């Protein structure tokens, strides 16, 4: 199972998910309204590399990081 990290203000502990690609995260979290709102604006990193293609196949050792937008100086 892939590991999901919730960074910044998401403030949740990491979890493991059984999904085959990143686009399935939205379905996995379908009952979590707060997280659905964040998913719409977060950047996504796979194994510490930002990705745009959410159809990339996942392996059991992958690390998914959800990166909410941040501002500051």
Reported as a single tens digit per residue, the pLDDT across 4-26 is: 999 988 989 999 999 999 999 88
Long-range own/partner contacts, residues 41-47 (CB < 8 A, 24 or more apart): 41/68, 41/69, 42/10, 42/66, 42/67, 42/68, 42/69, 43/67, 43/69, 46/22
The domain segmentation of the chain, as residue ranges, is 2-67
With bands split at pLDDT 50, 70 and 90, how would you rate the model's confidence at 70? Answer: confident
Task: Determine which helix (DSSP H) or strand (DSSP E) holds 42, and give its type and residue range.
Answer: none
pTM of the full predicted structure?
0.88
Q: What is the pLDDT of residues 45-56, one digit of tens each?
A: 999 999 999 899
2-67: CATH number = 3.10.20.30
């Amino acid at each position: 199972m892939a590991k999901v990290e919730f960074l910044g203000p998401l403030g949740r502990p990491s979890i493991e998910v059984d999904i085959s690609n990143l686009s399935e995260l939205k379905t996995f979290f379908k009952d979590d309204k707060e997280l659905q709102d964040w998913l719409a604006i977060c950047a996504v990193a796979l194994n510490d590399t930002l990705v745009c293609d959410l159809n990339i196949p996942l392996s059991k050792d992958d690390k998914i990081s959800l990166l909410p937008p941040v501002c500051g100086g």
